[in-house]
Structure 1
Amino acid sequence: MELYGLVTLVGVFLLLALEPVLARNPLHHPRLDRWCNNIGLAFTNELIRFFLPLALALVAVDGPWQAFNASSLGLLWGALLAFIIMDFSLYWVHRCSHELRWLWRLHRTHHSDLDMDVTTSFRHHPGEVGLKLVLMSGFIGLLGFTPAHLLTYVLLHRCFALWSHSNIRLPEGLERQLAKVLVTPRVHQIHHSAWQPETDSNYGQILTLWDRLFKTYLSPDQVPCPARFGLEDFRSAEDQRLSALFAQPIR
Structure 2
Amino acid sequence: MESFLGFFEELTTLQKLAWVIGCLSFFWILEGYYTFSKKSYKKWRHALSNAAFMGFTMLINVVFGILTVGVFVWTNQQEFGLLYLFELPVILELLIALLVLDFIAQYGVHYLLHKVPAMWRLHIIHHSDKNVDVTTGTRHHPLDFVLRETFALLAVFITGMPVAFYLFYRILSVLFTYWTHANIQLPAKLDKALSYVIVTPTLHKFHHHREMPWTDTNFGNMFSIWDRFFGTFLYDDPSKIVYGVDIADHLDDQHVGVQLGIPFNKSVRSKKASTM
Structure-2-length-normalised TM-score:
0.82
Q: Structure 1 stretch 109-118 or stretch 34-43: which is displaced more?
A: 34-43
Matched, 1:70 2:86: no
Say if 2:260 is the partner of 1:246. yes
Displacement after TM superposition at 1:77 (Å):
3.7
Whole-Å separation in 2 of the counterparts to 1:43 and 1:27: 27
Contact conserved, 1:54 with 1:147, CA < 8 A, in 2?
no
* Alignment check: 8 A CA contact 2:100 2:155 kept: no
Q: Deviations over 1:107-157 (max 9, x none)?
A: 111000001100000010111111221232144134322321112211111
Aligned residue among 24, 32, 36 for 2:44: 32
The answer to whether the 8 Å contact 2:206/2:218 transfers is yes
Q: Please give the secondary structure, in 2, of the residue aligned with 1:196.
A: coil
Using the alignment, how far apart are the partners of 2:219 and 2:52 within structure 1?
A: 25
* Alpha-carbon distance between aligned partners in 2 of 1:52 and 1:206, rounded to the nearest angstrom: 25
Equivalent residue for 1:144, pick from 160, 179, 190: 160
1 CA distance for matches of 2:180 and 2:217? 14
The structural deviation recorded for 1:234 is 2.4
Structure 2 CA distance for aligned equivalents of residues 120 and 226 of structure 1: 20
Q: Which blocks of at least 5 consecutive residues in structure 1 are unaligned? A: none
Which one is further off, 100-109 or 1-10? 1-10
RMSD, aligned CA: 2.1
CA shift, 1:233, in A, is 2.8
The equivalent residue for 1:16 is 28
Counterparts of 1:183-222 in structure 2 under 5 Å? 183-219=199-235, 222=236
Q: 2:101 aligns with which of 83, 86, 89?
A: 86
* Cα separation, 1, equivalents of 2:118 and 2:158: 25
1:231 maps onto 2:245 in alignment: yes
Task: Pick one of 172, 177, 196 that aligns with 2:193.
Answer: 177
What secondary structure is seen at the aligned counterpart in 1 of 2:32?
coil
1:50-101 CA-partner distances (Å, limit 9, x unpaired): x234322221235378752636767544322210101111211111110110
> Alpha-carbon deviation of 1:102?
0.7
Range with greater deviation from structure 2 (184-193 or 88-97): 88-97
Q: CA deviation at 1:33?
A: 2.7
Q: Which structure carries more relative contact order (alpha carbon 8 Å, separation 6+)? A: 1
Unmatched runs of 5 consecutive residues or more in structure 2? 1-12, 266-276
Q: Say if 1:62 and 1:144, in contact at 8 Å, map to a contact too.
A: no
- Asked whether the equivalents of residues 122 and 263 of structure 2 are also in contact (C-alpha less than 8 Å), the reply is yes
Q: Which amino acid aligns with 1:78?
A: E
Query: What is residue 43 of structure 1 aligned with on the other side?
Result: 55
Instruction: Please name the residue that 1:126 is paired with.
Output: 142
- The one-letter amino acid of 2:19's match is V
After the TM superposition, list the runs of 4 or more consecutive aligned residues in structure 1 that deviate by more than 4 angstroms: 64-67, 71-75
For 1:231 and 1:107, how far apart are their aligned partners in 2? 11
Residue by residue over 1:179-213, the C-alpha shift from the partner in whole angstroms, topping out at 9 and shown as x without a partner, is 11111100000000002101100011111101111
**Cα contact 1:160–1:205 (8 A) shared by 2:** yes
Q: Secondary structure at the match of 1:194?
A: coil
State the Cα deviation string for residues 13-48 of structure 1 (Å, max 9, x = none).
Answer: 111111121111123433233212101111111232
TM-score under structure 1 length normalisation: 0.90
1:93 to 1:209, Cα distance in 2 relative to 1, 3 A: same
